[in-house]
């Protein structure tokens, strides 16, 4: 199988990730922070190491400001619902994932409004449009770093500088970029950053995080046992305990630590350059084929390793089915949980075929996909 669905989750996982999960389950097994015996202490050390590694990857942020969550979706919900109050207004883009749009839709019933800033047909945002859509009650800009449909990057540096100038908060959905590109919240004026462990950080599913800059507080969305301050019925105020009630996915975090270590050893810049190189080849070759429609920025340097296309006369799910069953190539068809993005680029409601590469994707695998699409077009004709 040629796996080209890394925007959904990375595969294959490094052997060191699998070994770390297995070791935790076989040799540690204890609940972190819930006892003082040796195994519980070792479990706590695993969680602490993962937090430190992630903090280092994010440019040396305070590890205590990293909250572990089961996913980016949970992290985004915590950020939006823990931060906003009735009367607040949020600016976002027309390229957002449902993990942002659905919570914002839900919050409308509480008197929290939002505006989607239209992006170009390529899915790109003009930073000047952010200023044009400001309201007196605007408090937050919520922005995806890279589209999960086109791979197109948003102008984070410019938007972050604007947010600082205007005294606004910036929440970034880093689902497609944490581990895929250098991403330092302090340098980019990011106040809150949500990300997954199972995509470009190469860890297992069920791991994610929310980083919250020092000085900014959130309301808790759930309360319970944290292993600390057990004498009180009040939720602890200390970070990150305040937001990590219940048992953490410690085996998953053990694997995530090794995924982060793998990314650091390979180098984020080197991984990004590899993806750009092979995606440029894919974009150029597919663009030469009559009957193939490409979406998103033509300059692949403005993208992460994701590309969407369609074949004239075939639905995206038909193309994906043929690639899977006849060629052993895994891609993802449809709307990718981002209908607004597809409306922006003109592929709604039919969706697209999405190709997304990882650090282990080879140029030969990309050539195999190009050959397969050529043969599908020939057969279609």
Which one of 25, 119, 303, 337 is the catalytic residue?
Answer: 337
Q: What is the mean pLDDT of the chain?
A: 97
User: What pLDDT is recorded for position 304?
Assistant: 97
d(CA 209, CA 212): 10
- Tell me the C-alpha distance between 259 and 251, whole Å: 13
pTM for the full predicted model = 0.97
**Contact between 229 and 170 (Cβ < 8 Å):** no
337 is catalytic: yes
Proportion of the chain above pLDDT 70, given as a percent: 100
* Exposure on the CB side of residue 71, measured as CA atoms within 13 A: 9
Token duo for residue 205: 């599913």
In 3D, which of 50, 25, 51 has the Cα closest to residue 39? Answer: 25
Gyration radius (Cα) of the chain, Å: 21
What is the per-residue pLDDT for 379? 87
Q: Can you list the domains of the chain with their CATH numbers?
A: 2-10+267-380 (3.90.1150.10), 15-266 (3.40.640.10)
DSSP assignment letter at 236: P
Give pLDDT tens digits for 307-363. 999 999 999 999 999 999 999 999 999 999 999 999 999 999 999 999 999 999 999
Q: Is 339 helix (H, G, I), strand (E, B) or coil?
A: helix
H helices of the chain, where?
A: 15-23, 38-57, 72-83, 98-107, 127-132, 156-166, 185-188, 250-266, 268-287, 316-327, 339-345, 363-380
Task: Give pLDDT < 70 ranges for the chain.
Answer: none
Q: What is the predicted pLDDT for the residue at 321?
A: 98
Integer Cα distance of 76 and 210 in angstroms: 8
Scan for tokens 């170009």, then name that residue: 120
Sign of CA dihedral 184, 187, 188, 189: positive
pLDDT in tens, 275-322: 999 999 999 999 999 999 999 999 888 999 999 999 999 999 999 999
């Amino acid at each position: 199988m040629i796996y080209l669905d890394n925007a959904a989750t990375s595969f294959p996982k490094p052997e060191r990730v699998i070994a770390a999960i297995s070791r935790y389950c076989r040799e540690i097994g204890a609940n972190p922070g819930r006892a003082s015996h040796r195994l519980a202490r070792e479990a706590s050390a695993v969680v602490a190491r993962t937090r430190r590694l992630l903090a280092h990857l994010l440019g040396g942020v305070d590890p205590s400001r990293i909250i572990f969550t089961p996913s980016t979706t949970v992290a985004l919900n915590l950020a939006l619902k823990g931060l906003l109050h009735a009367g607040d207004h949020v600016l976002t883009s027309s390229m957002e994932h449902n993990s942002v749009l659905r919570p914002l839709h839900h919050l409308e019933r509480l008197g929290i409004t939002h505006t989607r800033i239209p992006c170009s047909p390529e899915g790109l945002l003009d930073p000047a449009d952010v200023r044009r859509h400001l309201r007196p009650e605007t408090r937050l800009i919520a922005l995806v770093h890279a589209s999960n449909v086109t791979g197109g990057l948003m102008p984070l540096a410019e938007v972050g500088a604007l947010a600082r100038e205007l005294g606004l908060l910036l929440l970034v959905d880093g689902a497609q970029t944490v581990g895929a590109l250098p991403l330092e919240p302090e340098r980019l004026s990011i106040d809150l950053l949500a990300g997954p462990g199972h995509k470009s950080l190469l860890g297992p599913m069920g791991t994610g995080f929310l980083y919250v800059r020092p000085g900014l507080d959130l309301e808790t969305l759930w309360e319970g046992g944290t292993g600390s301050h057990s004498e009180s019925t009040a939720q602890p105020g200390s970070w990150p305990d305040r937001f990590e009630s219940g048992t953490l996915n410690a085996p998953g975090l053990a694997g995530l630590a090794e995924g982060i270590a793998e990314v650091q050893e390979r180098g984020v810049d080197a991984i990004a350059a590899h993806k750009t190189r092979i995606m440029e080849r894919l974009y150029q070759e597919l663009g030469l084929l009559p009957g193939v429609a490409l979406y998103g920025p033509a300059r692949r340097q403005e993208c992460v390793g994701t590309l969407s296309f369609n074949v004239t006369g075939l639905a995206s799910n038909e193309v994906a089915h043929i690639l899977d069953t006849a060629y052993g190539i895994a891609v993802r068809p449809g709307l990718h949980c981002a209908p607004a993005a597809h409306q922006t680029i003109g592929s709604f409601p039919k969706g697209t075929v999405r190709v997304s590469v990882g650090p282990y994707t080879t140029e030969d695998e990309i050539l195999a996909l190009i050959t397969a699409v050529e043969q599908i077009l020939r057969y279609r004709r």
